[in-house]
Amino acid sequence: MTITREELHANLGGLTVLDTLGGSYYAQQHLPGAVALVESEVAERAAELLPDKDAPIVTYCSNPACGNSKAVANRLTALGYTDVRRYVEGIEDWVGAGLPVESSL
């Protein structure tokens, strides 16, 4: 399932947002409140970061061509998470719309 920019922006405080780019990409800019989680870390970190398997979760990466958000969403679904959606357009769309981002730098 997917989520639109408008839906995500309207519900930002009520769901967990996962930046699936990680590393320097996450440090440079990420959606407000987003948590970095890359595919290779899902198995070891999901239970700690996401204890409620029924809570709403949104994954995103850079743009529709990036497969990271789909890979993480699929891994979470396979682990039993029930409400995982993808913001397919990614952070490039978010920034392009003039919405705020955070930085860890």
* 3-class DSSP state of 48: helix
Residue 61 known to be catalytic: yes
* Catalytic choice (57, 58, 61, 76): 61
* Residue of 51, 53, 65 whose CA lies nearest to 21: 65
Catalytic residues: 61
